[in-house]
Structure 1
Amino acid sequence: MARHDRRIRLPQHEADLLATAWQDDDPDHIRKRDLLQDIVTALVLTPARWGKGRGYLAGFWRRRRHDTTAAPVFARPPRARRSTGELIASTEITAGWHHSAGNDPPEYGYSATLTVAARTRSVPGSFPQLALGLVLDTPGKRIGENAITTLKPLPTLGLPAAFAVVDRAYTDQQPGHFAQPARELGYRLALDYKVDQRGVQGSAHGALLIDGSLACPLMPDRLAQATTGLDDTAIRTPSDELTALINAREPYLLRLKQSPNTNGTVRFQCPAAGTSPSLTCPRFDRLHQREPNRPTAIDLTDTRQRAAHPAAKPRVLPPQPDHKTGELPRICHQHTITVRKGDLGHLDKFRQDLPYLSPAWIGTYKSVRANTEGLNGRVKGHDLDLRDPKNRLAHGRVAQSLLTALLITVANDHFLDQWRHTHQPQDQAVTPADTPQTPAGTFDRTPPAGQSRPPPAP
């Protein structure tokens, strides 16, 4: 990308000038960066394409988990010359300090953004745990954009898109860098938040944005502020009291009326509207002139009839006296509201598609996170250890990207092989007569005859 002698350490100001080639808008530099990424993507996806052609991804469920992990380099970090005090750069001019979320010390090198095919315990079927995308970049740079880069090639595999599960580093990205592009690709989001981001985050058309979900503006404050100020320990192991408060929020959440269109516009319905409201609201009845429900006889032994009766639903308590009609928010005047891409502004990065800490969120987020950490551990604990910079001694981001891609590709191939032997055992012994003859110098990837697997897709 930027040619220079990689055997010497340049003054920092010269190295910084060369490093700009990795982020400027020069057409030739963009072409080279795109070419490098295409090669990396092709390498990483090769085992996945092979596995899909053999039917190993038939049980694939639609979960993607994004994470960044350290790829340390053998080069030393920048330092000042003892004689002159001049700051000299590392031979890896675009490397930096990767800070992990835990208490581990920072590592000097690159950040590898990995997209992992993950599954939850509640989903039947099985498929191999694979890395489906890789981008190597300077730590802390283009976090959201790198995740989107790994998602864009996946439709070529024919794998469905549903949930993108990410940690707080991605939640903190500007909406245009991650959340909005991910939704445009067809993904729904499952997010986590920092301590100061939990609770009431903002509003749109009068509806409150509470932990990523739009809710009735008259939700009781005790429910709306249930997670405000809670630390990570309280969130990871919610108490019975917190669980009860989270469950009590559900009737107050706006319901999805219409999924996003091509412009990202979504329609939500007031929880007191419709033929099956989840709560009763005197304000809604007054504004929309809805007559009180007439008393009807119900079968008290019928669970569904009891749950559908208005007396069994939460009742919203507007202030007394209530605000004037012209002062009420739009969500109270209308049965539905339309939320467009820019209506929440920068707060759109917090919006997600599962109620935070609900059973559905926990079942998706925690299981997928465990899958991702498991893959990271396998990649770093493998014979080709991503954590050991001695396995990638060549200098330069191009060389480091290609070597890291080769490590992930080999790891994916091993994961596929291990999964095949565990989940697709041999039905019968393979005899020499059953083994197809292949020309010398070629490698036949066709599964043994005893497995009767389908041929690879063309």
Structure 2
Amino acid sequence: MARPARDETAARALRPRIRPGKITKIEDSKVGQLLTLLDHSGVPQQLEAMLQGRPGPAGVRPRTVLAGLLLAACFTGKATVAEAWRILHFRLEPRARTWLGIPHEPPATARESIAASRRLYRGFDRITTLLDPARCNRRSRLPLDIADAYADAWKVPSGKQAAERLQHLANQLVLSPVRLAQQRGYLRGWRGDVGVDATAIPVLADPDRERAGTASVEITAGWHHSAGADEGTFGYSASFVVAAHRRPAGEGTGKPLAYPQLCVGLVLDTPTVRTGRNAVTALTQLAELGLPAGTCAADRAYTGCAPENFQIPVRRLGYRLALDYKTENRGKQGSWRGALLVDGSLACPHMPTALAQAAQGAKDETVRIPSEELQQAVEERVPYFLKTKQSPDARGAIRLQCPAAGPSPSVNCARRDGLRPRKPRSPKPPPTVVNLADNRSRAAHPAARPTVQLPADEWLTLPPAEELPAVCGKSDITVPANAYGDRLVAKFRQDDHYLTAAWTASYKPIRSHNEGIHGRLKSGEIDIGNPKHRPAPGQVAQTLLVAILVTAGNLDILETWLYQRTGTHLTATDYTAAPTPRGPHTVRTESTGRPPPLPD
């Protein structure tokens, strides 16, 4: 029986609207490529395995829901269920509809459109309900005490485990284009340098209303304060890990080969919560791909983390650290086995006080554009820093030695010569004639090296080796990643000397790559900073939608890079190269959906 006309009119007002004149068909080849990439990420298979046995109607499969959202992100720049519905039911060819289980004919009436859209919404709702440790009403404000109870559910062990599973699944989506680029050899020129930074992800919901006693719809959101910004942004923080490279610091270092500067890690969380751990989560998942580990540059938000949450695990993953410091943390920072910790580097215990305190209390403006006096002091204190005797091992421990030791000492020290006098050569070599026109010959002469000023009573009587600091009495010292509980050394130590040319060549270019990926993903068609492009509420929904948008952004970066380098595009063979990942959260089960065949 035909429904009354007024009911049909009401249905048309409720359903997602179709924009006349903009229903263009999407080629089967592009749908097949994106669906193959999605299948190789392993996320649809894991979601369908976890949904087995749950009550309620099955609805639309997770594979179809995620494919619709990814298609919407690639072709419209929005990760909304409404755009996914329009694409799945009105813009696909019959062959692609078969791959996704979509009816061959689009909805003919308004009520059929409503039914199709609601099935898709239910399919997305099943995914978010599955991954949410404390599902609640996301459409109305809750009282503050009730909302706090739901928010606390994320902090208990079961909630942390659910959050880790969510972050792992989202990062698998982001890494799928990275795995594709790795398999095709496009990352051969990348040396493993990464930049870690957090950016604000605003939401449509308003913050809590203290006077009314009601919480925000986004119960786990908070205020993200960017560096230098007076006002915060209400929403979430997204920790990005971006592929970057250092700038050549000297002659002969070589220019890095070209590679696509992709986002190689993403974790979305409440602002100021688990800042360091979220970066480690992304770096750990990146390490599973077997890519090289270079320098990891991070701003002061990560320097301020507890060392067991960021610095120690990052070193154990094989990364070198390039850090910046707050004003109150510059200068002398601590000591280890008698060696001074000066601006993140261990130095001779008798480094001149003026050099050790050259950056003491320096403002940020002074550090960004150092004065000539500061630059000169930074260069003059380099010879006093300990020298690397052995690079970090698998546990992140490094061996350092006195700057006056070894075949190429950088300072003269009477204490070192008294404890371990250098054996004269036999027969005695003739006096060396120094070529004053040769910079290298002049620098190698002992007279050109600074001399360590020892205490006055030590020039006549040298104390026993056991009474001296370990850095002086032993041939070398070992500095483990955790520094045996010395939090200052574990927290502030870095591998390049602060404010030197080597540090500048590492820190500043990598940090600029972070800002570049933020600008690229927060502008243009794909704008993750626009909450209208991902309106679904809740941390689970926001995490998945941001991950889908970043995945689409990574594909755009890879396509653009390949076209600029070779004038070609990614083909179906490229998309079938990446294998399905296997990780700690991977559910090993038979695939519930066959990937589409290669387009003809």
Distance 2:566 2:355 in 1: 49
Deviations 1:363-396 (A, max 9, x none): 1111111111011011111312111111121111
Bigger shift: 137-146 or 115-124?
A: 115-124
1:47 CA displacement: 1.2
Report if the CA contact (8 A) 1:52-1:456 is conserved: no
Question: Which of 416, 424, 433 is the equivalent residue of 1:298?
Answer: 433
Q: Please say if 1:320 is aligned against 2:456.
A: yes
1:262 CA displacement: 3.8
Q: Please say if 1:345 is aligned against 2:475.
A: no
| Structure 2: 5+ residue stretches without partners | 1-132, 249-254, 580-600
Report how many residues are paired.
Answer: 431
Report if the CA contact (8 A) 1:71-1:386 is conserved: yes
Report if the CA contact (8 A) 2:521-2:553 is conserved: yes
Aligned to 2:343: 211
1:402 CA displacement: 0.3
Please give the residue correspondences for 1:296-445 in structure 2 after superposition, counting only pairs within 5 Å: 296-300=431-435, 301-322=437-458, 325=463, 327-340=467-480, 341-343=482-484, 345-347=486-488, 348-426=490-568, 445=572
Deviations 1:73-116 (A, max 9, x none): 1111001345xxxx211111100000000225211000000100
Report if the CA contact (8 A) 1:354-1:360 is conserved: yes
Aligned to 1:438: none
- What's the TM-score, normalizing by structure 2? 0.68
Aligned to 1:90: 216
Bigger shift: 200-209 or 260-269?
A: 260-269
Deviations 1:111-163 (A, max 9, x none): 00010001234332111111111111110000000000000111333310011
Bigger shift: 361-370 or 234-243?
A: 234-243
Aligned to 1:132: 264
Report if the CA contact (8 A) 2:415-2:462 is conserved: no
Q: Please say if 1:456 is aligned against 2:600.
A: no
Report the AA paired with residue 337 of structure 1.
I
Q: Please say if 1:45 is aligned against 2:175.
A: yes
Aligned to 1:116: 242
Q: Please say if 1:25 is aligned against 2:163.
A: no
1:416 CA displacement: 1.0
Deviations 1:315-342 (A, max 9, x none): 1111212397265322221221222333
Aligned to 1:100: 226
Please give the residue correspondences for 1:183-262 in structure 2 after superposition, counting only pairs within 5 Å: 183-262=315-394
Rate the CA distance shift 1:170–1:292 in 2: closer, same or farther, 3 A. Answer: same
Distance 2:239 2:554 in 1: 15
1:296 CA displacement: 2.4
Bigger shift: 343-352 or 175-184?
A: 343-352
Aligned to 2:597: none
Report the AA paired with residue 395 of structure 1.
P
Report if the CA contact (8 A) 2:287-2:317 is conserved: no
Bigger shift: 206-215 or 317-326?
A: 317-326
Report the AA paired with residue 445 of structure 2.
H
Bigger shift: 317-326 or 372-381?
A: 317-326
Aligned to 1:157: 289
1:345 CA displacement: 1.4
Distance 2:501 2:409 in 1: 22
1:303 CA displacement: 3.9
Rate the CA distance shift 1:455–1:250 in 2: closer, same or farther, 3 A. Answer: farther
Rate the CA distance shift 1:303–1:444 in 2: closer, same or farther, 3 A. Answer: closer
Aligned to 2:208: 78
1:43 CA displacement: 0.8
Report the AA paired with residue 487 of structure 2.
H
Rate the CA distance shift 1:268–1:120 in 2: closer, same or farther, 3 A. Answer: closer
Distance 1:97 1:303 in 2: 55
Question: Which of 139, 145, 166 is the equivalent residue of 1:36?
Answer: 166
Bigger shift: 259-268 or 69-78?
A: 259-268
Distance 2:378 2:154 in 1: 45
Distance 2:540 2:484 in 1: 41
Identity %: 48
| Structure 1: 5+ residue stretches without partners | 431-442, 448-453
SS of structure 2 residue aligned to 1:164: strand
Aligned to 2:137: 5
SS of structure 1 residue aligned to 2:198: strand
1:54 CA displacement: 2.5
Report the AA paired with residue 483 of structure 2.
G
Rate the CA distance shift 1:52–1:76 in 2: closer, same or farther, 3 A. Answer: same
Rate the CA distance shift 1:39–1:384 in 2: closer, same or farther, 3 A. Answer: same
Distance 1:421 1:101 in 2: 35
Report the AA paired with residue 263 of structure 2.
A
Distance 1:417 1:352 in 2: 36
- What's the TM-score, normalizing by structure 1? 0.89
Aligned to 2:56: none
Deviations 1:370-427 (A, max 9, x none): 111011011111312111111121111110100110111111111111111212225x
Bigger shift: 7-16 or 200-209?
A: 7-16
**The structure with more radius of gyration:** 2
SS of structure 1 residue aligned to 2:483: coil
Rate the CA distance shift 1:262–1:371 in 2: closer, same or farther, 3 A. Answer: closer
SS of structure 2 residue aligned to 1:68: strand
Report the AA paired with residue 507 of structure 2.
Y
SS of structure 1 residue aligned to 2:359: coil
Report if the CA contact (8 A) 1:298-1:305 is conserved: no
Distance 1:262 1:367 in 2: 27
